[in-house]
Amino acid sequence: MRIWKTTAEWTIHRRTISGPTIGFVPTMGALHRGHASLVERCRAENDITVVSIFVNPSQFNEAKDLDRYPRPLDCDLALLDRLQVDDVLLPEAKDLYPHGYRFRIEADSLTKEMEASHRPGFLQGVMTVVLKLLNLVRADRAYFGEKDYQQLRTIAAMVEEFFIPTEIVPCATIREPSGLAESSRNALLSADARQKAAAIYRALTTSNNLQQAESLLQAEGLQVDYVEEHWGRRFAAAFLEGVRLIDNVPIAERK
């Protein structure tokens, strides 16, 4: 497994690759089974698998949230090595943003609700860094989990709009036995809170309407940010022990 710590080093290496298909999994680290499933699919469908680990400051609208984001780099690299990843990109912020955050991608209709409304600047930060990474890697395919469904839709639309020759591949959410969606933020929860957090999935799949889903979450002690329906899916965001958790399910799969 090759590790590239600067965009300059990676760019030189990328020029040597011609012919093999390249798959790409962009991450912010704190890797879990969900990330592993993306990597495994990427390896199955491409000759070369590239993974990036970069905690992107431009998508955090609160400094304390950025500071507390888990960064177990040694564990992440060990997992990627076991998964037989070919290349890992580990750029620093000053490398990806050498002149600061002076250019950013804006969107219209996709960035007016849910995460965009409750986390100002979040989707702009995601689109901007993903555009940079896609231009650097120039992959045939890039893999994104459906847990961050609004983010997935936004990136797919951006790629289409800017004629980027990378196929965006959606991958199903991986869940714990309780139903809790795998997330890097789960590591910030206590064992008790991790069990309570499974209420998000239950609320999304068993409630008859949005009001009932919100009431169920509040009864479990979660501070609800929103419960909404878009694109044939039901979404929720809520806080538990100060940790913001999100999830979504297709409406057709409600129990």
10-residue mean pLDDT profile of the chain (255 residues): values are 97 95 96 96 98 91 81 95 98 94 81 82 92 98 96 95 97 95 92 94 95 95 95 95 95 71
35 is catalytic: yes
Residue 110 confidence (pLDDT)? 59
Residue 64 confidence (pLDDT)? 79
Rg over CA atoms, the chain? 18
Residue 175 confidence (pLDDT)? 96
- Rounded to whole angstroms, the Cα distance separating 44 from 42 reads 5
Residue 118 confidence (pLDDT)? 86
Domains of the chain, each with CATH number or no CATH: 2-171 (3.40.50.620), 184-247 (3.30.1300.10)
Diameter of the chain measured on Cα atoms: 57
Q: Pseudo-torsion of CA 25, 30, 36, 37, nearest 10°?
A: -80
Residue 117 confidence (pLDDT)? 86
Residue 255 confidence (pLDDT)? 59
The residue annotated as part of the active site, out of 35, 99, 118, 230, is 35
Burial string for 10-22 (b: 16+ CB within 10 Å, else e) reads beeebeeeeeeeb
Residue type, 214: E
Residue 194 confidence (pLDDT)? 92
The closest alpha carbon to 193, from 248, 242, 125, 255, belongs to 242
- Rounded to whole angstroms, the Cα distance separating 125 from 26 reads 14
Eight-class DSSP state of 183: -
Residue 134 confidence (pLDDT)? 98
Q: What is the three-class DSSP state of 208?
A: coil
